[in-house]
Amino acid sequence: MEFVEIKSQTKILLESGTNELEIMEFSIAGELFGINVAKVREIMMAQDVKKMPNSYDSIEGVFKSRDEIITVMDLAKYLNIPRQENSNYDLFIVTNFNKLNFAFRVEKVIGIDRISWTEIKKPDRAIYGGEEGVATGLAKYNDKLITILDFEKIIAEISPESSIQHESINKLGKRVENSKPILIVEDSMLLSKLIVDCLHKAGYKNTIKTDNGEEAWNYLQEVKKSGEQIKDHVACIVSDIEMPLMDGHHLTKLVKEDDKLKEIPLILFSSLITEQIYMKGKELGADEQITKPEIANLVSIIDRLT
C-alpha cells in the first residue's frame, strides 16, 4: 500500500449543523488518539526520510510525495511517549490544514468514529503540556477514551510563521479605537489569546471571549433576556469550527435560525475552510469564512461587516 486517500465513511460532511464530527482513531505505544478526518489527506506506509540539520528533535526530516516536499514529525517523540518494543511504527498520517501539509508518524490507524461534540470534553490543563497543552479534547466512544490532539498548536510550535502574526496588523495602516463588541468563540487558549491581542491592536478593544459554541450560545441567550439592543452586546461573532460541546457550524445554525440574532454578522475563522467545508458554512448562513492564520484579512472583514 503506497497511500490511501481519506474519504468519509458517512455523509457527515454533506450534512449541516449536526454538531457531530468524524475522528480518525490511531494509536502510539498503545495509547489512543484522534484527529478530525477533515484534516487528514491520506494515510501511507512510512517512507524514507531525509534528515534536516538544526531541526526540532521531534522532526524526522522531509520526504517527497508526488511533487510535494512534506515535513515528517515523530509524534511519539513530540508527546514524549516511549515506543513499544517490536512495534512496526510504520504509518504516516498526512494532514492538510492552514494551507500546509505535514506527515505524522504513528503506530497504527484503527478506524473512523462518528462522535457528537457534546461527548468531547475539554481536558484538564495538566494533560500533555500544562496550561498550553496539546490535548484539545477527550472523547468517549464505545467505552474507549480517545485523546484528540491540537494539531494546530503542534505545527505552530515547529513553524511559528504558519500561525497568527501580530505584525500583519501593521499592513492595515493607522487604526482608530472601536468600541463595537466582538464575540470570540475559540477553544484553543493559544489561538484565542492571539486573536484577542490582534483585535485589540487593530482597535477593537471590546472583546468577549468564550471557549466553545455552547458558552457563546448561552451568552447570546442572556443578551436576549436582557431586553437590550443586541448590537450593544454583540456587533459581530468570530467563531472557530472545531470545539468541544458545540462546534462552530452548529452555533451558526442556531444563530441564523433565531429571529433576534440572525442579523449579527458571523465569521467562521478556522483552519478547515476547504471547498467542501466552505459550502457547508455557506448553507448554514455564515456571513464570511476565512482560513487561519489570515488575521489582517479577518480584521478587514470585521470592519466591513460592522
- Contact present, 240 and 270 (Cβ < 8 Å): yes
What integer pLDDT is reported at residue 135 of this predicted model?
81
What integer pLDDT is reported at residue 164 of this predicted model?
64
What integer pLDDT is reported at residue 2 of this predicted model?
42
Q: Profile the chain (306 residues) by mean pLDDT over runs of 10 residues.
A: 45 62 89 90 89 82 87 90 67 85 91 88 59 75 87 80 70 87 90 89 94 95 92 95 91 95 95 84 94 86 93
What CATH number has the domain spanning 3-160?
2.40.50.180
Cβ-proximal residues to 33 (8 Å cutoff; 6+ apart), any chain: 25, 26, 27, 75, 106, 146, 147, 148, 149
Write the DSSP string, 75-88. Answer: HHHHHT-PPPTT--
What integer pLDDT is reported at residue 103 of this predicted model?
93
Overall CATH class of domain 164-305: alpha beta
Q: Where are the domains of the chain?
A: 3-160, 164-305
What integer pLDDT is reported at residue 203 of this predicted model?
93
Query: Residue 28 is inside which H or E element, if any?
Result: strand 20-28
What integer pLDDT is reported at residue 268 of this predicted model?
96
Cell of 272: 478547515
Cis peptide upstream of residue 265 (ω within 30 degrees of 0): no
Please provide residue 35's backbone torsions phi and psi, each rounded to the nearest 5 degrees. -140, 140
The helix/strand/coil state of 146 is strand
Beta-sheet pairing, 182-185 with 236-239: parallel
Continuous H helices in the chain: 75-79, 151-158, 189-201, 213-226, 248-256, 275-284, 295-305
